[in-house]
Amino acid sequence: MSQGTERESWGPYPLILVGAVVGVLVTYFVNLRWGGFTMGAAIMVAAALRFAGYGGQLSVRSKRTDVITLSVFGFVLVLTSLLLYNNELKALILSLLAR
């Protein structure tokens, strides 16, 4: 197996892995909010790369399923991290769920 083929089989997987590790470290050392945002952003970058056609280790299922799953999970993680310390929004969501 040549060097180029081996590198292509990994694809952008190391980039996404480093982004997730940085997100965990930011969560541990800095702030839960920024760590969640970093991990969500790394997952959304993975969705964008998968949509652009870069597969490698990221291609587990069909391209459509991978992009939708990664996009939704990354968006929910970013949204949750941004809403983490917003007490007014928490009260609004709880009031909507209490009905």
Q: Is 2 helix (H, G, I), strand (E, B) or coil?
A: coil
Angle at 63 between CA 59 and CA 67, to 5 degrees: 95
pLDDT value for 1: 43
Q: What are the φ and ψ backbone dihedral angles of 55, each rounded to 5 degrees?
A: -105, -90
Residues 6+ apart with CB under 8 A from 74: 40, 41, 42, 43, 44, 46, 47
pLDDT value for 92: 83
For the full predicted model, state whether its pTM sits above 0.85. Answer: no
SS3 content of the chain, % helix, strand, coil (to 5): 80, 0, 20
pLDDT value for 11: 67
How high is the mean pLDDT in each 10-residue block of the chain (99 residues)?
A: 53 83 92 90 90 73 86 91 82 81
